[in-house]
Amino acid sequence: MKTNFEKIVHIEKIGKANTAKLNDLLTLAKKEKFKPSVEDKEKVLFIGIDFQNDFMENGELGVLNSHKDIENTTHFLYRNLEKITDIAVSLDTHELHQIFHPCWWVDEQGNHPKPFTIITAENVKTGKWKAINYEKASADYVENLEKIGKKQLCIWTYHCIEGTFGAALEGQFSNMIHFHSIVRKTPIQKITKGKDPLSEMYGIIKPEYSLYAEGENNEFLLSLKNYDKIFIAGEAKSHCVLESVRQIVEFYDHNKELTKNIYLLEDCTSPIAGYEETTEQAFQELEKTYGIQRVLSTEVTL
């Protein structure tokens, strides 16, 4: 490759404003002579989940070690530029007034819940927490969320608000995937998730629970059959990465040939603090049940 890694990614700027000009970067990419992705015999997909500014260590919902995850991920992509056929990324996208943000709820004194407060169905029934608007729908959501055995409703800090810096792709990761897009002559698939005000959507396939019975992202799910290997990284391992992997393997429960070729890049994803143990247990179960593989990005040979 003619272009050095350091001309694409500036490690010291991870999580900061990206000063690189995309047109300059793509001019460098056009000098490379890689074959187009459509000519790949072995089809490889990389899925980057929520690599956005607000999930970086200095972001509104920062994940510890996320800067190192970006460093490792961009090195992995650079080393395997000629082998990775396509890249898909998810973009967590919200408004202030959503069911998991503080301004949605008040207690009996009119106070909003603090971030990381857990709101249970019992809390809502007793009036400990009350939705300012959509009171019945909010109560139904929390109740049904518990009935189907999903995570309880957690109040998060305001994050990934549409149109803000925090909602944008982390700059150095963005540089690398757009470089790949030009070099391999393939578009980046960008999946927006989380815009329903009355639902949480950790995974890239479907909401945790939807009052409107929204369907799955079937087009993306079905496209996964076109790949021989699928590599996954992102933030946070405990929530959006975990649920994305779980939703994919549950859909393909009948197709272990596909699920055993899903690779979680362990050194390119980190959990939210406090969820380390439950996250490890969950991935051990997915590994055992569906045969997914957990690997280090430095040890993968494509």
Comparing 188 with 19, the larger pLDDT belongs to 188
**Model confidence over 67-106: pLDDT tens digits?**
999 999 999 999 999 999 999 999 999 999 999 999 999 9
Alpha carbon distance 51, 173 (integer Å): 7
Domain boundaries, the chain: 44-96+169-299, 102-154
Burial of 135 (0-12, 13-18, 19+ CB in 10 A): exposed
Q: Which two tokens stand for residue 266?
A: 């362990």
Grade residue 214 by pLDDT with cuts at 50, 70 and 90.
low
Helices (H), the chain: 5-8, 22-29, 66-79, 121-125, 135-147, 171-183, 218-223, 242-251, 256-259, 276-290
| Cβ-contact 66, 55 below 8 angstroms | yes
Q: pLDDT-based confidence at 213, cuts 50/70/90?
A: low
The pLDDT of residue 30 is: 84
Considering only 1-15, 116-130, 178-192, 215-229, which range has the smallest mean pLDDT?
215-229
With cut-offs at 50, 70 and 90, classify the pLDDT of residue 216.
confident
- In whole angstroms, give the CA distance from residue 232 to residue 222: 17
Q: Say which range, 1-5, 47-51, 157-161, 164-168, has the weakest mean pLDDT.
A: 1-5
Summary mean pLDDT of the chain: 95
- Do 293 and 260 touch, CB atoms closer than 8 A? yes
Query: What percentage of the chain exceeds 90 in pLDDT?
Result: 90
Residue 227 has phi, psi (to 5 degrees) of -115, 145
Beta-carbon contacts of residue 251 (< 8 Å; ≥ 6 apart): 205, 216, 221
Q: Is 234 left (phi over 0), alpha (psi -120 to 50) or beta?
A: left
As beta bridge partners, residue 89 has 48, 190
14-36 residues labelled b (16+ CB within 10 A) or e (exposed): bbeebebeeeebeebbeeeeeee
* The two structure tokens encoding residue 265: 């890049």
Pairing of strands 153-154, 118-119: antiparallel
Assign domain 44-96+169-299 to a CATH class: alpha beta
